[in-house]
Homo-oligomer: A and B are copies of this chain.
């Protein structure tokens, strides 16, 4: 159903979007196994490129992403996961979205547009 052979090392990008607000929360990568587990469990699984392993999003933080809808693009090499984000935040920094910085009008700097909703030190210490 997905064209995993098109991705570098069999990885395809998954755009994660908040089902209710439409906010883009993060981008992560899936391989076939994480895709299979996502469909089987209804919880977003990715491939962690830094840790080189399957990653159930929220396995450390408890901030699991429940799959509401999956959309597939014209080339079947990118997906959108529309999710309900548990714990209110997707980003390891404690921000709701990983895209919490906006390019300034003069293109010279990144402006932080919101405050963290959790303290990473507390959440990841557990």
Contacts and interface: CB of A to CB of B under 8 A. Distances in A.
B22 A23 contact: yes
Contacts of A71: 24, 99-103
A92 B1 CA distance: 20
A69 interface: yes
Q: Report how many copies the assembly holds.
A: 2
A70 B22 contact: no
A5 to B, nearest CB: 14
Interface in A67-103: 69-75, 78, 80, 91-93, 95, 98-103
A110 to B, nearest CB: 6
A66 interface: no
A27 interface: yes
A24 B21 CA distance: 12
Given A8-B8, A24-B24, A74 B100 contact: yes
A54 interface: no
Interface of A: 1, 8, 13, 15, 17, 21-24, 26-27, 39, 69-75, 78, 80, 91-93, 95, 98-103, 107, 110
